[in-house]
């Protein structure tokens, strides 16, 4: 607030000085010009007090009243001059003030002060989102649906203004600034006691690297999730202990190769890592055989490094291709290039260039040449969603969605990575059975995957009850707090106890204080279980059907 105040003083310095000078001249003049009394006889000039009083209301309102007596002609002439002078002075001041409020620098200062005040007033845990493009917007909306507080730093002022127009439940603090600057991160609450993590997901790898370094040095206790596209930047981030590095190209390539090798296992991964409470998509079944890869940039290299070792034959359409089974010069948008690449023998094609228009052209041309071809299309920009939805490719690669999904999974369910690692060791039949359970549990929508720690902070009621020696079975707490005969729509996926992991624990599993649970549930069920684990009376009802009065007054009534 001080910066805005002093900025206003600097901009208004000349108008204020001008007004002071004009007021001074007008007042001094009235104390020097002789007047007349009630009978018209010459009288002394006005006193300083009367002169100041008269100029005060005359200069601001042009309200004309001659006090304490009627003015002489000389006084009226002087007052006429003063009126024009002060009107000019006030007009100059008002115009300068209007220009000040329209000044972008002053507006930015006011917004920054308001942002700082709102960040200081945050009373609940929040995450710091650096970059609010397509990925940041997806994460912000997911956080908002989960009632998770967050703070946004975005370099583009227009995106910040668009964020203010979003239909969020709460008034989210957002600032148009460069998140790669350490002082901006501090302004956004990097050292705030309620800051739980930082997401460096801007479109600039170097900015993400700078953010990761700043967090590592200024507040190493909180986790940082960064996005990287090149292996060199990812290695640099990993060298100083960045907690999570997400490369959307590598991640998609890994998923595609996994989908080819284990379609049911991939189906389970897709279900658990999708944005929660969204319609379940049709399963992807990419076939084995000869594939055509159009585009051999960073995305193409990542795909080749995963698909070639998996036994998939690749024909790469790109002048820079060097390690493919075949190399065709071109971009894949022309039918003759695809025919030359052997599309008649191919089972799938990947449209993976940096251009959405070219990718759509490749997909449409390939589909016309061979309708049964499995098509994987890369969508680079969310603005083209309508076009890609209209084409309806068999498998879509959207980098922003991949990064957003992994960020949400890491923050809301830290144990999910351990579960997915264990899941890859299971048979396809195991994954298929679990997929069927999840689809039935959530009625055709993606589950809400989350974790809870049975400690004093997250589950105080359960933690205290367990420390008191009460044995609690897993199935006992998965009951509705309003009707304990009804089971909650929750499926336990994993329990971590010290260094041990228990995969798909059953209802008879005995819980211990300090256990970490990974759960999948339908939308809206999470709050029910969290309230049960946090409230002793609710937990007593769920475990034994006991209803205890919670307040002194109700206990008195119950005892009477």
Nearest to 159 by CA among 131, 191, 184: 131
In this structure, are strands 374-378 and 395-397 parallel, antiparallel, or unpaired? Answer: parallel
Q: Using a CB cutoff of 8 Å and minimum separation of 24, what contacts does 17-23 make?
A: 18/89, 18/92, 18/93, 19/86, 19/89, 19/90, 19/93, 22/59, 22/82, 22/85, 22/86, 22/89, 23/55, 23/59, 23/86
CATH number of 447-544: 3.30.70.1450
C-alpha span between 147 and 412 (Å, rounded): 12
Consecutive H or E run containing 537:
helix 536-544
Paired tokens of 541? 């009802």
Q: Quote the pLDDT of residue 435.
A: 93
How far CA 30 is from CA of 18, 47, 59, 313, in Å, comes to: 18, 8, 13, 99
Consecutive H or E run containing 313:
strand 313-317
Q: Quote the pLDDT of residue 548.
A: 58
Nearest to 22 by CA among 96, 81, 72, 98: 81
C-alpha span between 452 and 463 (Å, rounded): 12
C-alpha span between 191 and 309 (Å, rounded): 45
Paired tokens of 311? 């036994």
Paired tokens of 375? 């098509």
The beta strand positions in 10-79, using DSSP E, are 35-36, 42-43
CB distance 173 to 118 below 8 Å: yes
Paired tokens of 37? 């009394």
Q: Quote the pLDDT of residue 551.
A: 52
C-alpha span between 174 and 119 (Å, rounded): 9
* CATH class for the region spanning 2-102: mainly alpha
Q: Quote the pLDDT of residue 560.
A: 45
Q: Quote the pLDDT of residue 326.
A: 67
- Arch. (CATH architecture) of 120-246: 3-Layer(aba) Sandwich (3.40)
Paired tokens of 548? 């205890």
C-alpha span between 400 and 392 (Å, rounded): 18
The pTM for the full model equals: 0.79
Q: Quote the pLDDT of residue 390.
A: 92
Residue 384 burial (CB < 10 Å; 0-12/13-18/19+)? middle
* CATH class for the region spanning 260-412: alpha beta
C-alpha span between 347 and 467 (Å, rounded): 59
CB distance 315 to 292 below 8 Å: yes
Paired tokens of 461? 């009621």
Residue 355 burial (CB < 10 Å; 0-12/13-18/19+)? middle
Exposure b/e, 108-128, CB count within 10 A at least 16 = b? ebbbbeebbebbeebeeebbb
CB distance 132 to 154 below 8 Å: yes
CB distance 263 to 283 below 8 Å: yes
Nearest to 180 by CA among 211, 136, 155, 203: 211
Q: Quote the pLDDT of residue 122.
A: 92
How far CA 48 is from CA of 27, 52, 53, 407, 433, in Å, comes to: 7, 6, 8, 72, 95
Domain 120-246 matches domain 260-412 at the CATH topology level = yes
Sorted by sequence, the CB contacts under 8 Å of residue 278 that are 6+ apart come out as: 445, 446
Q: Quote the pLDDT of residue 103.
A: 85
- Residue 56, Cβ neighbours under 10 Å: how many? 13
Query: What are the extents of the domains in the chain?
Result: 2-102, 120-246, 260-412, 447-544
Paired tokens of 288? 């084995």
CB distance 58 to 27 below 8 Å: no
> Crossing angle of helices 104-120/73-102, nearest 10°?
60
pLDDT, tens digit only, all 560 positions of the chain:
457 778 888 889 999 999 999 999 999 999 999 988 878 888 899 999 999 999 988 888 766 678 778 888 899 999 999 999 999 999 999 999 999 888 888 888 888 889 999 999 999 999 999 999 889 999 999 899 888 999 999 999 888 888 888 888 888 899 999 999 999 999 999 999 999 999 999 999 999 999 999 999 999 999 999 999 888 999 999 999 888 999 999 999 999 999 888 889 999 998 898 878 888 877 878 888 999 999 988 899 899 999 988 888 889 998 765 555 567 888 888 899 999 999 999 999 999 999 999 999 999 999 999 999 999 999 998 889 899 989 989 989 999 989 998 898 888 888 998 999 999 999 999 999 999 999 988 888 889 899 999 999 899 999 999 999 999 999 999 998 888 888 899 999 999 999 999 999 999 999 999 999 999 998 778 889 999 999 988 898 888 877 655 555 545 555 54
């Amino acid at each position: 607030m001080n910066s805005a105040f002093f900025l206003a003083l600097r901009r208004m310095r000349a108008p204020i000085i001008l007004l002071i000078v004009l007021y001074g001249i007008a007042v001094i003049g009235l104390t020097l010009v002789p007047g007349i009394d009630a009978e018209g006889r010459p009288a002394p000039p006005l006193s300083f007090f009367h002169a100041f009083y008269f100029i005060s209301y005359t200069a601001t309102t042009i309200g004309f009243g001659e006090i304490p007596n009627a003015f002489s002609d000389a006084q009226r002439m002087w007052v006429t001059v003063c009126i024009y002078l002060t009107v000019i002075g006030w007009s100059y001041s008002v115009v300068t003030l209007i220009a000040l409020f329209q000044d972008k620098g002053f507006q930015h200062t006011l917004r920054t002060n308001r942002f700082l005040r709102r960040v200081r007033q945050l009373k609940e845990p929040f995450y710091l989102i650096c970059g609010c493009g397509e990925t940041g917007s997806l994460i912000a909306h997911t956080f908002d649906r989960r009632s998770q507080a967050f703070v946004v730093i975005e370099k583009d002022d227009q995106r910040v203004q668009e964020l203010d127009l979003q239909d969020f439940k709460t008034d989210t603090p957002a600032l148009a600034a460069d998140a790669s600057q350490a002082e901006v991160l501090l302004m956004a609450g990097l050292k705030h006691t309620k800051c739980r993590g930082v997401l460096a997901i801007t479109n600039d790898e170097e900015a993400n690297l700078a953010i990761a370094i700043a967090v590592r040095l200024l507040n190493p206790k909180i986790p940082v999730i960064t996005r990287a596209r090149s292996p060199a930047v990812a290695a640099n981030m990993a060298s100083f202990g960045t907690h999570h590095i997400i490369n959307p190209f590598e991640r998609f390539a890994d998923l595609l190769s996994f989908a080819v090798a284990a379609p049911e296992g991939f189906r389970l991964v897709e279900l658990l890592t999708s944005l929660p409470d969204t319609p379940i998509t049709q399963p992807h079944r990419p076939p084995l055989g000869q594939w055509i890869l159009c585009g051999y940039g960073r995305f193409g290299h990542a795909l080749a490094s995963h698909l070639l070792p998996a036994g998939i034959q690749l024909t790469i359409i790109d002048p820079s291709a060097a390690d493919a089974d075949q190399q065709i010069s071109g971009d894949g948008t022309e039918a003759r290039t695809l025919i030359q690449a052997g599309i008649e023998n191919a089972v799938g094609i990947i449209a993976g260039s940096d251009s959405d228009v070219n990718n759509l052209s490749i997909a449409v041309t390939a589909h016309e040449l061979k309708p049964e071809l499995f098509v994987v299309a890369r969508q680079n920009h969310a603005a083209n969603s309508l076009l890609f939805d209209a084409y309806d490719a068999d498998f879509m690669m959207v980098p922003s969605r991949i990064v957003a999904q992994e960020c949400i999974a890491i923050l809301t369910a830290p144990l999910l990575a351990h579960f997915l690692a264990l899941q890859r060791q299971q048979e396809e039949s195991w994954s298929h059975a679990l997929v069927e359970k999840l689809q039935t549990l959530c009625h055709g929508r993606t589950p809400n995957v989350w974790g809870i720690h049975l400690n004093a902070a997250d589950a105080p009621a359960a933690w205290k009850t367990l420390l008191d020696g009460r044995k609690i079975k897993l199935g006992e707490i998965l009951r509705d707090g309003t009707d304990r005969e009804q089971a909650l729509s929750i499926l336990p996926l994993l329990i971590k106890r010290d260094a041990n992991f228990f995969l798909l624990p059953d209802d008879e599993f005995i819980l211990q204080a300090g256990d970490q649970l990974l759960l999948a549930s339908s939308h809206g069920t999470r709050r029910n279980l969290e309230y049960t684990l946090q409230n002793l009376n609710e937990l007593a009802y769920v475990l034994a059907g006991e209803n205890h009065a919670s307040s002194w007054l109700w206990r008195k009534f119950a005892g009477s």
